[in-house]
Amino acid sequence: MAQQTQISRVSQQWATFMATFPSVESLAEAPAADVLRAWRGLGYNRRALNLQRAARVIVSEHGGRVPSNVDELLRLPGVGPYTARAVAALAFGKAVGPVDTNVRRVLGRLMGVDVAMSARDLQAIADGSVPPARPADWTHALMDLGATVCRPNGPRCTECPAAQWCRSVKRVPRRKARGAGADGTFASTSRWLRGRILDQLRDVPDAEWGAVVGPIGEHAAVAVGTALLAMESEGLIERDRSDPERVRLAR
């Protein structure tokens, strides 16, 4: 939930989601439409479906217990290198280094912004830097350092506990932040459009069909139709074969 979503939005949603699905089994057995409704407001709705698919694999192949091994975690639907290592480090104390946007920036600056590193090399550096006795503390610290001190714009180098080892102090490039709407959304993007479509369908009672037609916001009818086709192929929605404008959340 917290990936690319503000933690202030996530905290209450997480509590509600966990109250709705208190166990891996309850999530695995729920209708997909219920999972998508519980995900409302979090965006990236494919994550909700992948989370449920992962829960089903955990129940069927791991006896309902999340695996602790990175390789086994990577085989779960929707789990990539970052998520696998984050779960392994934070939940199971494995000495591996999750690399998110903040960690990538911190390590890249420490090594020197002019040093080009492949994803594999960066991952090796991240894994090698983890103190074996405190992987969770290290992971939290590195992520927080990138979020609060080693920021993309205006990094606070004089306050950084790693400044004495950093090869990029005082020469970190400044970037202009991209603009967004007052609520932090970009109404011209397909992500925004898909979110509005799902919000409409979340309000449709179970088993009933809703009508989704354009335009929606800045998106013409053809863009809405294209979004519906993509969302159907991803398993987010179902369309009535007799009337393609009638849609509902995936069951």
Does the pTM surpass 0.85? The reply is: no
The pLDDT assigned to 84 comes to 96
Alpha-carbon span 163 to 177, nearest angstrom: 24
Q: What are phi and psi of 10, to 5 degrees?
A: -80, -35
Alpha-carbon span 231 to 215, nearest angstrom: 17
Alpha-carbon span 200 to 79, nearest angstrom: 28
The pLDDT assigned to 172 comes to 54
In tens digits, the chain (251 residues) has pLDDT values of: 887 777 888 888 899 999 999 999 999 999 999 999 999 888 788 999 999 999 999 999 999 999 999 999 999 999 999 999 999 999 999 999 999 888 988 988 888 755 567 888 888 889 999 999 999 999 999 999 998 999 888 888 888 988 888 888 755 554 444 555 444 456 767 888 888 888 888 877 777 888 887 788 888 877 888 888 888 888 888 887 777 678 888 87
The pLDDT assigned to 177 comes to 45
Give, as one character, the DSSP assignment of residue 164. G
The pLDDT assigned to 182 comes to 42
Question: 165: part of which helix (H) or strand (E)?
Answer: none
> Can you count the helices (H) and strands (E) in the chain?
11, 3
